[in-house]
Amino acid sequence: MTAAGTVIASGLGVLACLSALTRWLRVSQREHYAAGSCAVALGRWVRFRPLNSALAAVIVGGLALAAVAAVAEDEALAAWGAGASAAATCVFPWPMRVVGRPRLRLTRRARTLAAVGLGVSGLAAAGLAAAGSGLATALAAAAAAAPGIIDAAAAVLAPLERRLLERHRRRAAARLARVGPFVIAVTGSWGKTSTKNHVRDLLTGMAAVAASPASFNNTAGLSRTLNDHLPDGTEVLVVEMGMYRPGEIREMCSWIRPDVAVITAVGPMHLERAGSMERIAAAKAEILERARTAVLWVDDQRLDELSRSAPVPTVMRVGAEGGRGLDVEVAEAGGEVIIRAGGSEIGRVGADSGVHPANVGCAVAAALAYGAAPDRIGPRLAALGPPPHRATASLSPAGVLVMDDTFNSNPAGAIRAVGDLARRVDGRRVVVTPGIVELGSEQRRANVDLARAVISSGAELVIVGRINRRSLLEGAGGEAVTATDRTAARDWVRDHLGDGDGVLWENDLPDHYP
């Protein structure tokens, strides 16, 4: 029995190592391979899923029992302890899947991190086994340490990854210099992708335009954009620049110098990492340091103040409130969005088009800054639409209006989408959401406000997961349905909605959030 128990415990240890390393490698990839991201995710699962505290106790207790048994030379007890720890690690944290959503992509960087993680785990297990812990205990310990091993490997590999990226960046910079396009760069806490796409669509046909795909908005993504998606003869390049940390946009602008720099908004997205709204605003403003023209949405108080001190030759002020020296004015009237420049109407966009007026206004200003004629811009406005998964609408076979806003992660846009659902659907209305994350100290308040907006609009709220459940329930006054995951929420919607009803899928989170 002792030998068989040791073999079983060792087998569980191997399975635990493979499953844990795969699970945490997927988390690291989703979080841009940032060192410490696995530890942050682990903390969330223990905090919001009480069962994981019990599983963690089994993992640690089993290892402690195995260590004590090894000293006492009790192989059977050691096998029990190691086996229990490994078995708990196989499902920890519950119910995060090993192969989940989004799936792990075996890129070159992921393969490198996996190799280092496996190597460290193997060496640690071998060392512990040689020290007398026994193979089963050593494997169980290595599996339990997987989040820390992946975080440490990501930190160790970071300098190498920066060197490899620098080669692609230099090639991209050389490509940009050879083609020599007029560069329009867009940043903002929200609205980046939509505004970038609007600029591209407004200028297509007036000039040879290239734009960064999807949300390719960091150094790696922009390097790939220029190396793979910048044809010879491109006259205008429109790029999106994201901010994961202060200084990141400044670094990108050092080799992609914008002729026109657009800031759409300053909001609490990534407040968890940045620490304060002032730091977010300063990080976004880095895009102006090398630009010749700034386009700013000045209904945002911080951007209004920045417009008066921006270090650029020309500032174009865009807003929805007249009488404040606006270069481009956006007004909503009669179910339409009216765009004016210099006091004259350029064109209109339907309110049901799904586009955000602020994004359209900023895009028009950027096109005008390039030199596009207003009378050529106007006819193109009616054809503008949102990117996929941002306030797009379709009708299901059952006659339910489905609004997909799952790529939206900002509080203002979420509340606006709730209002759009109320305006477009007379029947039963449902909003499905896990809430909004990475808002730091603002997260609770933002989710309370979102839930209140849902209830006050006459819609029902379905809360997905646990991460924001408490604050959403608070805002809804307890009037909400809770679903363990997106699949359960989808099943509830199918069972309860029919012809003439509507559902808004507001934000979506990968399954490494509890």
SS3 of 67-124: HHHHHCCCHHHHHHHHHHHHHHHHCCCCCCCCCCCCCCCCCHHHHHHHHHHHHHHHHH
pLDDT at 82 over 80: yes
Domain formed by 392-506, architecture: Alpha-Beta Complex (3.90)
Main-chain phi, psi angles of 181, to 5 degrees: -80, 165
pLDDT at 322 over 50: yes
Q: Cα–Cα distances in Å, from 290 out to 172, 250, 309, 380?
A: 19, 9, 14, 30
d(CA 345, CA 328): 10
pLDDT at 274 over 90: no
Tokens of 299: 């209904």
Tell me which residue of 421, 423, 453, 422 sits closest to 435, measured CA to CA: 453
**What is the phi-psi region of residue 335: left when phi exceeds 0, alpha when psi lies from -120 to 50, beta otherwise?**
left
d(CA 313, CA 55): 60
| Average of per-residue pLDDT values in the chain | 91
Tell me which residue of 189, 192, 190, 216 sits closest to 279, measured CA to CA: 189
3-state secondary structure 209-249: EEECCCCCCCHHHHHHHHHHCCCCCCCEEEEECCCCCCCHH
Cβ pair 75, 134 in contact under 8 A: yes
Could you give the residue ranges of the DSSP H alpha helices within 433-475?
A: 443-456, 469-475
pLDDT score recorded for residue 411: 87
Tell me which residue of 380, 370, 378 sits closest to 208, measured CA to CA: 370
**What residues contact 46, with CB distance under 8 A and at least 6 apart?**
52, 53, 56, 93
Mean pLDDT of 244-251: 89
Q: Would you call 66 exposed, middle or buried from its count of C-beta atoms within 10 A (0-12, 13-18, 19+)?
A: buried
pLDDT at 457 over 80: yes
Nearest-10 crossing angle of helices 146-179, 37-48:
130
CA 251 vs. chain centroid, Å, equals 21
3-state secondary structure 14-48: HHHHHHHHHHHHHHHHHCCCCCCHHHHHHHHHHHH
Mean pLDDT of 244-255: 91
Tell me which residue of 214, 294, 215, 303 sits closest to 253, measured CA to CA: 294
pLDDT at 309 over 50: yes
pLDDT at 435 over 90: yes
pLDDT at 1 over 60: no
Mean pLDDT of 477-493: 94
Higher pLDDT among residues 350 and 369, named by residue: 369
pLDDT score recorded for residue 324: 73
C-alpha count within 13 angstroms, C-beta hemisphere, residue 143: 35
Query: Which strand (E) or helix (H) includes residue 395?
Result: strand 392-395
pLDDT at 441 over 90: no
- Whether cis (ω within 30° of 0) applies to the bond prior to 95 is yes
Main-chain phi, psi angles of 232, to 5 degrees: -60, 145
Q: Cα–Cα distances in Å, from 129 out to 68, 70, 88, 123, 402?
A: 14, 11, 20, 10, 56
- Whether cis (ω within 30° of 0) applies to the bond prior to 510 is no
Cβ pair 451, 432 in contact under 8 A: no
Nearest-10 crossing angle of helices 146-179, 108-128:
160
Query: Which residues lie across from 480 on neighbouring strands?
Result: 461
pTM for this structure? 0.84
Cβ pair 130, 123 in contact under 8 A: no
Tell me which residue of 196, 96, 80 sits closest to 140, measured CA to CA: 80
- Residue 170 neighbours by CB distance under 10 Å: 12
Per-residue model confidence as pLDDT tens digits over 5-45: 788 999 999 999 999 999 999 999 998 899 999 999 999 99
Give the least confident one: 149-153, 209-213, 347-351: 347-351
Query: Which residues lie across from 460 on neighbouring strands?
Result: 430
d(CA 201, CA 204): 5
Cβ pair 180, 49 in contact under 8 A: no
Kindly calculate the radius of gyration of the chain based on its CA atoms and give it in whole angstroms. Answer: 26
Where exactly does CATH 3.90.190.20 map onto the chain? 392-506
Where exactly does CATH 3.40.1190.10 map onto the chain? 180-381
Could you give the residue ranges of the DSSP H alpha helices within 371-509?
A: 374-381, 411-424, 443-456, 469-475, 486-496
Percent of the chain's residues with pLDDT above 90? 68
Domain formed by 180-381, architecture: 3-Layer(aba) Sandwich (3.40)
Cβ pair 236, 265 in contact under 8 A: no
